[in-house]
Structure formats: C-alpha cells, structure tokens
Amino acid sequence: MNPACIKLLFLVLLLPMVAAAQGTEEATAAKAETLSGAKAWAFSLTVDGYIVPSEQSYVDPVVTADHNRLHLEGRYNDENLHTGSFWLGYNLRWGKNVVFEFTPMLGGVFGRTTGIAPGIEAALTYKKLQLSLSNEYVFDTGDKAGNFYDSWPQLTYSALEWLNFGLAAQHTKAFETKFKLQPGFFVGVTHKNLEFTTFVFDVGRADTSAVLEVGYSF
C-alpha cells in the first residue's frame, strides 16, 4: 500500500483515541455549552477558478457546514473533473495561544472517478501565522490502479485584518503537469464575510497555472 495512504489511515484511526483522551477542561466547556444551548450552524461557500495552460480550465466549488463537532462538506471538480464528493468529518480543537485544529473525514467520490476517500484537514495557528494542510487518499472502486493522493499544504501570514499572503502547493489529479507537486504563492483580501484570493503555481515554468478564489462564510 502507498506509504502516504498508510500514514493517512493511521491518523484517521488514531483520532478516536485522541478524542477520548481529551482533558477535563474541554469536557467541562462542552457541558457548559450544552447547558447554554446548541451552537449555531456555520456555513461556507468557496469557488476556485482554475486557469490551466494547454488544458481545460474549470471551476471547483466547495460547500461546508459545521455544527459543534460535526463537519459536512461537498465538492465538485476537486478529486477529478466531472466528479463530486461528499464528506463527513469530526472537528477537534486545542490550545489558546497556539491553536491546533484537526478534522478527520471520510468521503464518498462519484462521477468520472468513483471511490471512498479518508482525508484530513488540519491547521496550526500562532498569532498572525498559520500552517494548514488539506489532504486525502482516494481508493478508486472501479480500478485499483486509479488510487491516488491529493494534498494542499499552505503557510499563511495575516499582515493586516483584511490582507494575507503566503506560500502554497498542490498535488491534484484534476490536471497534469511535469511535476507531481506544484509550489506557488498567494495573496488574499477580505471584506466582512467575503474573501478574494489569487494563487499562482509553477511560477516561471511553461505550465504556470493560476487559481482565482472567492469565499463567503455565514
């Protein structure tokens, strides 16, 4: 089995034990939240427009819904073109000054690619700096040779309340380049609940690509 797949599955299997071992402080906070009433749902819509040279450009919409520990997510054109996926995850969060957020997920993939995908979304935040990672391993139920790993690591610096920039990389099946991992950079601005971000990957190469992202949370 692919080493990346083994690591991913290990983390997903480890999470229930980690969740069970959380301290009494979090349990007390959870009890207080239950007594004070259920936390409201939080929703987000993110649309990424991929501009790919010599290949088909496309749009990748992602919808999320979170309620306490529950995380729901739907994607299209993410795992592959003309392919959708639905995800169920469990939100975990630790820390105050240094905040660690971790969401193990399990997804169903359907369309051009059909399969089952364990995945993880994680973020480590300290003041204005954040290191995040979104990754998954897709088990193609139609063809074992079609199994693949996707990832998007990102380092973000929030210079101002409305301005952020940093480094990112992507490993995707939706389009092919000479390099398995495409490094790049990004600049983003926010206004109230709206976010606008421009990513550029493989800078200086013949297959340089760009991603124009718009996000709305409510």
Contact 148, 142 (CB under 8 A): no
- Residue 91 CB burial class (10 angstroms; 0-12, 13-18, ≥19): middle
- DSSP state string for 66-128: EETTEEEEEEESSSSTTEEEEEEEE-EEE-SSEEEEEEEEEEEEEESS-EEEEEEEEEEEETT
Return the pLDDT at 58: 96
The whole-number pLDDT of residue 173 equals: 76
CA angle at residue 27 from 217 to 30, to 5 degrees?
35
- State both tokens at 93: 């969060």
pLDDT in tens, the chain (218 residues): 555 444 454 444 444 444 444 444 454 454 444 444 456 999 999 999 999 988 889 999 999 999 999 999 999 999 999 999 999 999 999 999 999 999 999 999 999 999 999 999 999 999 999 999 999 999 999 998 999 999 999 999 999 999 999 999 998 877 655 557 899 999 999 999 999 999 999 998 888 999 999 999 99
Measured from the Cβ of residue 156, the count of other Cβ atoms closer than 10 Å reads 19
Distance CA 16, CA 80 (A): 30
Helix (H) or strand (E) holding 33: helix 24-36
Q: Which CATH superfamily is domain 3-217 in?
A: monomeric porin ompg (2.40.160.40)
Q: Return the pLDDT at 39.
A: 66
- What is the model's pLDDT at position 18? 44
- In the chain, domain spans: 3-217
Q: Which of 16, 3, 164, 150 is nearest to 75 (CA)?
A: 150
Q: Can you give the pLDDT at residue 24?
A: 44
Q: What per-residue confidence (pLDDT) applies to 204? A: 86
- Token readout for 53 is 């040279």
